[in-house]
């Protein structure tokens, strides 16, 4: 590079962007959370709302009975009425028959005769129910008995439009589990300071009024949080509503899921790009940019930084050390990919997860540019 912009400044800037995204932004939110704490302010005079549980299912005969039993066991005393709706997305196994066994217990089956996808099924259920509060939950998500009471306690605050459960991940397992813990910590900070940028797809609840602008081709857990802000409400994280679900242990399947998640996230982001205007949406615009867009730009900054390291003639010793660091990182990721025993090493697990995550992001960007969209897919099997 030329003297006006030396190689070391360029590489440092690239690394600085990565550091800001994963460390700087969370630390800033941590500091702000110590100063700004937007508390839930319940209106104790509000009436008990009606509630609808919407559970999409696709060939879920091995999980649907446990899900129905778990949902029926939830304490319903704080709701005026509760309806449980299972949306079967053209299931070809015994899912529908199992649901019909519970139809005399306020469990309702809506079957889609043509494959439509999770969000389409949710939309059909929304249009055919009338619950004032809608709880969206996945078929493999398990909730505690007091979950509904805790959800409704937040909605007593008239400024809250959506509430996200917190993902309860078993200890250890994978880089994915470590990442989810980090993500839950960051969401807790965002919830205290302003509003969530995304909800937990395994289980979240929203007012019916923020579910009017529904989409079939982008993730509901993402756009519901954005619709909430557009409608003048805020989304919060409920640490008292843990939601347990399985973590994918197959690395290849985890990669495919990541590509799908990022592609759908990017599609949603560009559908809601106007939320980046701070004059209208204030501090949330900064959160939207830092939490989402910055994270999806990281691989390109990494590629640019490494490319300059490879061709640079400046400060040979410093740049050689930088390349050694890159090689060691790739070596650790490679060990974790090919050697099962390497998964016992946390550094190898983190290296592999970080590498796969960023390759998946590039893959998703390519799919986005090529015009690919993803509405339907087969549920992940653990």
Q: What is the pLDDT of residue 245?
A: 73
**Rounded-to-integer distance, Cα 355 and Cα 361, Å:** 10
Strands 234-244 and 160-168: parallel
Per-residue pLDDT of the chain (382 residues; tens, 9 = 90+): 555 456 678 888 888 999 999 999 999 999 999 998 888 877 777 888 999 999 999 999 999 999 999 999 998 888 889 999 999 998 999 999 999 999 988 899 999 988 888 999 999 999 999 999 999 999 999 999 999 999 999 999 999 999 999 988 666 556 677 788 889 999 999 999 999 999 999 999 999 999 988 998 899 999 999 999 999 999 999 999 998 876 555 556 778 888 999 999 999 999 999 999 999 999 999 999 999 999 999 999 988 888 887 766 555 555 555 555 665 666 665 656 566 665 666 677 777 788 888 899 999 999 999 988 776 656 655 5
Delimit the domains of the chain by residue range. Answer: 1-35+255-382, 50-247
Q: Give the fold, CATH level 3, of 50-247.
A: Spore Coat Polysaccharide Biosynthesis Protein SpsA; Chain A (3.90.550)
Main-chain phi, psi angles of 378, to 5 degrees: -80, 135
pLDDT number for residue 280: 95
- pLDDT the model gives residue 4: 44
Give the β-pairing of 160-168 and 107-112. Answer: unpaired
| Alpha carbon separation from 293 to 21, 267, 283, 287, 314 (Å, rounded) | 10, 12, 15, 10, 31
pLDDT of residue 373: 79
d(CA 142, CA 139): 8
The secondary structure of 22-80 as a DSSP string is IIIHHHHHHHHHHH--------TTPPPPEEEEEEEESS-TTTHHHHHHHHHTS--TTSS
Q: What is the pLDDT of residue 9?
A: 80
Q: What is the pLDDT of residue 7?
A: 67
Distance in angstroms (rounded) separating the CA atoms of residues 288 and 305: 25
């Amino acid at each position: 590079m030329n003297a006006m912009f030396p190689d070391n400044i360029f590489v440092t800037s690239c690394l600085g962007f990565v550091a800001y995204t994963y460390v700087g932004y969370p630390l800033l939110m941590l500091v702000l959370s110590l100063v700004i704490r937007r508390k839930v302010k319940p209106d104790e005079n509000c009436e008990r709302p009606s509630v609808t549980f919407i559970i999409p299912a696709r060939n879920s005969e091995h999980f649907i009975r446990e899900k129905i039993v778990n949902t029926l066991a939830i304490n319903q005393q704080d709701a005026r009425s509760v309806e449980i709706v299972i949306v079967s997305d053209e299931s070809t196994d015994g899912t529908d028959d199992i649901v019909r066994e519970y139809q005399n217990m306020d469990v309702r089956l809506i079957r889609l005769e043509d494959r439509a996808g999770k969000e389409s099924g949710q939309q059909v259920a929304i249009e055919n129910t009338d619950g004032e509060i809608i709880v969206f939950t996945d078929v493999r998500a398990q909730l505690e008995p007091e979950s509904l009471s805790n959800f409704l306690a937040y909605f007593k605050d008239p400024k809250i439009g959506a509430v996200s459960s917190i993902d309860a991940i078993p200890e250890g397992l994978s880089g994915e589990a470590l990442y989810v813990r980090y993500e839950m910590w960051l969401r807790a900070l965002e919830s205290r300071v302003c509003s969530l940028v995304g909800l937990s797809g395994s289980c979240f609840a929203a007012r019916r009024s923020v579910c009017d602008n529904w989409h079939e081709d982008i993730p509901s857990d993402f756009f519901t949080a954005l619709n909430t802000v557009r409608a003048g409400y805020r989304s919060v994280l409920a640490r008292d509503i843990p939601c347990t679900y399985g973590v994918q242990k197959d690395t290849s399947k985890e990669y495919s899921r990541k590509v799908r998640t990022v592609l759908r996230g990017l599609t949603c982001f560009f559908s809601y790009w106007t939320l980046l205007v701070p004059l209208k949406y204030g501090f949330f615009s900064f959160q939207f940019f830092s939490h989402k867009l910055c994270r999806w730009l990281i691989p390109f900054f990494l590629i640019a930084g490494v490319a300059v390291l490879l061709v640079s003639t400046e400060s040979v010793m410093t740049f050689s050390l930088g390349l050694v660091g890159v090689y060691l990182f790739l070596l650790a990721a490679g060990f974790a990919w090919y050697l099962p025993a390497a998964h016992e090493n946390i550094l190898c697990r983190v290296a592999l997860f970080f590498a796969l995550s960023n390759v998946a992001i590039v893959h998703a960007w390519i799919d986005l540019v090529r015009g690919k969209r993803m509405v339907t897919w087969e549920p992940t099997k653990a």
